[in-house]
Amino acid sequence: MRDQSPVTVRLVYLARLREAFSSQGESIEWRRADPPTVAKLLATLRARGGAFSSELASGRAVRVAINHAVARPDDVVQDGDEVALFPPVTGG
């Protein structure tokens, strides 16, 4: 029997995304039997429409970090992870 308890992930929105989404972040849940990848998480957020759809659209500059480490689209998000979404940063 598969564990049916949810996977809870804390999303953190930074810089322009915080402004666009009118939120610093949120917690979301997934079925443990179907753990999300970064790509799946972004697709779920885009499906909300509005600012999520436009800010996270293909071709928009958005980075993702899991627990402060830059993540790739195929990285799996685990229960309790913090996932930050942010625009790329340039230095000077």
Residue-number span of the structural domain to which 51 is assigned: 6-86
pLDDT above 90 (res 91): no
| Cβ pair 11, 25 in contact under 8 A | yes
18: left (phi over 0), alpha (psi -120 to 50) or beta: alpha
pLDDT above 80 (res 73): yes
- Banded model confidence at residue 19, pLDDT cuts 50, 70, 90: very high
Residue 58 to residue 36: CA distance in whole angstroms: 18
The CATH number assigned to the domain holding 48 equals 3.10.20.30
- Banded model confidence at residue 57, pLDDT cuts 50, 70, 90: very high
**pTM (2 d.p.):** 0.89
Kindly report the number of other CB atoms within 10 A of residue 92's CB atom.
Answer: 2
Is residue 42 a part of any domain in this protein? yes
Q: What is the pLDDT of residue 1?
A: 52
Count: domains in the chain:
1
pLDDT above 60 (res 22): yes
Q: What is the pLDDT of residue 37?
A: 94
Is residue 91 a part of any domain in this protein? no
Is residue 1 a part of any domain in this protein? no
pLDDT in tens, 29-54: 988 888 889 999 999 999 999 999 99
Residue 56 to residue 52: CA distance in whole angstroms: 6
Structure tokens at 82: 């913090």
